[in-house]
Amino acid sequence: MAPDHADLGVRLVGEELLVPCLDGAERPYLSLDAGASTGALPAVAERVQAFLPWYSSVHRGAGWKSQFATAEYEHAREAALAFAGRPGGGERDDVAIICRNTTEAVNHLAYRLRFEPGDVVVTTVVEHHANLLPWGRVASRRYVECTPGGTFTVADVVAALDAEPRPRLLAVTGASNVTGWVPPIDAIIDAAHDRGVPVFVDAAQLAPHRPMPVTADFVAWSGHKMYAPFGAGVLVGPRTAFADGDPFLAGGGAVDLVDLDEVVWTDPPEREEAGSPNVIGAVALRSAIDEMTAIGWDRIVAHDRALAARLRDGLAALPGVRLLGSGFDDVLPVGTFVVDDVPHALVAARLSAEHGIGVRHGCFCAHPYLLRLLGLTDAETARYREAVLRGDRRQIPGAVRASAGLSTTAEEVDRLLDAVGQIASGEPAPVAYDQDEHTGDFWPRAASGPWSSADRSLGASCARG
Ligand SMILES: Cc1ncc(COP(=O)(O)O)c(C=O)c1O
């Protein structure tokens, strides 16, 4: 029998749970929000449970448990290096720094590269804010623009690299969190290296879906987006980049000697990990890496492609639905769309309250990219900006994103398509929805259930980006 690429047979912890819907029925919760965060793989949860009795301080204790925990932590570091395509014993002398997430990793690297005023980092308008804002603090940014479809070419990157002054770094995403577009990252890295420019790849979205770009100088990703939601992420780069100078965090564990006014920092990677590390997160991350390795990239990529085609073609075919982004040679199983005349926040609220489907809506922490994809004029953007500054997020531009992961099936994609189709066809909602001015979110007028709770002020959208 031919393999069913659209169903890997993987299930995540909690996927059997039912959630209440407005019609009084309970439905199996369908998370199509893997791009934001994934549930845990059962093997990851089991590994964490099995490790907990042995949990102890790492790098600090002589006791058996401390030694065991330290070994587990260091094995996770080795697994992260191998996952990034830099296994021990290879020619490269890279280190894996275990941190909280991609955001922390980029801030860490931006601090550590010790740019001088006037130094330039080339980046792109496609980036998540995590790969934009930290660079703006330490350098001038030069942007690679995108087409209305949301792509750029290697030649566009080359033009930005060749402009004066010469850049110190190229910081680019391995895959977009908004459209799922996978840029031709290997060719981009080669072009930068031909010009002597090192490259940081934000692999937050890439890591759960495609092998890492092995030639990148620096790469970072987050465990919570690859089935290990226990708070660990990774920054990988050459040991030499972290060998001198002040580490990002100063404190215990990062030093060899401290006198009242002198410090001798220890060697990387410990030099970069001041404070007690997240051992559980590291154990979970290693387990997720093992599980993904066991499934294998061939199967993961085939599953991604089958789902991406079904999701994206299905959305594009729905009357009244506009899929954002086009012209992609490779794309993750992500479909970001707007529905004519229905605010993005209302589409997401109806998918949740009427269908039990969890998606993301808003600007996805990538405002420059989203505004381009939506094709907003400067005047429109200025109007929204003014309203937001007044605290009114009701008209904030945005879209709805459905993003799939290892456990998503073709039937689940069809469930989303049916639900979006109903909303886009103008089918009236069973109850009225009220919009919260402060968050921009919509809430059904229901007497009971989570919708009537007092937690509304927290909001659901990423309007705040
Ligand atoms: C492309 C991209 N980069 C960076 C991040 C930030 O990741 P984290 O929130 O884990 O720090 C995200 C999160 O959505 C992302 O999608």
Q: What is the pLDDT of residues 34-50, one digit of tens each?
A: 999 999 999 999 999 99
Distance CA 176, CA 185 (A): 12
Indicate the SS3 state at residue 30: strand
DSSP symbols for 398-464: -EEEEE--TT--HHHHHHHHHHHHHHHTTPPPSS-EEE-TTT--EEE--SSSGGGSGGGGG-SS-TT
Ligand 1 in contact with 407 (CB < 6 A)?
A: no
Q: What is the pLDDT of residues 92-102, one digit of tens each?
A: 999 999 999 99
User: What's the CA-to-centroid distance between 102 and ligand 1, angstroms?
Assistant: 6
pLDDT at 462 over 70: no
User: What's the CA-to-centroid distance between 331 and ligand 1, angstroms?
Assistant: 17
pLDDT at 448 over 80: no
Question: Catalytic residue numbers?
Answer: 365
Name the pLDDT band for 392 (thresholds 50, 70, 90). confident
pLDDT at 190 over 80: yes
Name the pLDDT band for 88 (thresholds 50, 70, 90). confident
Q: Which atom of ligand 1 sits closest to the CA of residue 364?
A: 14
User: Which sequence spans correspond to the domains of the chain?
Assistant: 18-31+297-458, 44-294
pLDDT at residue 294 in the model: 98
Provide the pairing of β-strand 255-259 with 334-339. unpaired
Distance CA 340, CA 354 (A): 19
Provide the pairing of β-strand 399-403 with 360-362. antiparallel
Distance CA 243, CA 226 (A): 29
Ligand 1 in contact with 103 (CB < 6 A)?
A: yes
- First-to-last alpha carbon distance for the chain, in angstroms, is 46
For the entire predicted model, the pTM comes to 0.96
pLDDT at 293 over 80: yes
Q: What is the pLDDT of residues 217-269, one digit of tens each?
A: 999 999 999 999 999 999 999 999 999 999 999 999 999 999 999 999 999 99
Ligand 1 in contact with 31 (CB < 6 A)?
A: no
pLDDT at residue 155 in the model: 98
pLDDT at residue 19 in the model: 95
CATH, domain range 44-294: 3.40.640.10
User: What's the CA-to-centroid distance between 436 and ligand 1, angstroms?
Assistant: 26
Please list, in sequence order, all residues whose beta carbon lies within 8 angstroms of the beta carbon of residue 353, skipping any fewer than 6 positions away.
21, 22, 444, 446, 451
Ligand 1 in contact with 347 (CB < 6 A)?
A: no
Q: What is the CA radius of gyration of the chain?
A: 23
Ligand 1 in contact with 144 (CB < 6 A)?
A: no
pLDDT at 5 over 80: no
Nearest CA to ligand 1 atom 10: 101
Q: What does DSSP assign to residue 240?
A: G
Indicate the SS3 state at residue 154: helix
pLDDT at residue 3 in the model: 60
Distance CA 10, CA 299 (A): 12
pLDDT at residue 458 in the model: 59
Q: What is the pLDDT of residues 130-154, one digit of tens each?
A: 999 999 999 999 999 999 999 999 9
Distance CA 285, CA 226 (A): 8
Hey, CA dihedral for 448, 452, 455, 461, is it positive or negative?
positive
Task: Return the higher-pLDDT residue of 447 and 130.
Answer: 130
Name the pLDDT band for 58 (thresholds 50, 70, 90). confident
Q: Which atom of ligand 1 sits closest to the CA of residue 130?
A: 4
User: What's the CA-to-centroid distance between 128 and ligand 1, angstroms?
Assistant: 7
pLDDT at residue 446 in the model: 81
Question: Any idea which of 69-83, 175-189, 320-334, 442-456 has the lowest mean pLDDT?
Answer: 442-456
Ligand 1 in contact with 332 (CB < 6 A)?
A: no
Select from 104, 128, 181, 360 the residue to mutate for testing ligand 1; criterion: most ligand atoms less than 8 Å from CB.
128
CATH 1.10.1240.10 fits 18-31+297-458, yes or no: no
User: What's the CA-to-centroid distance between 19 and ligand 1, angstroms?
Assistant: 27
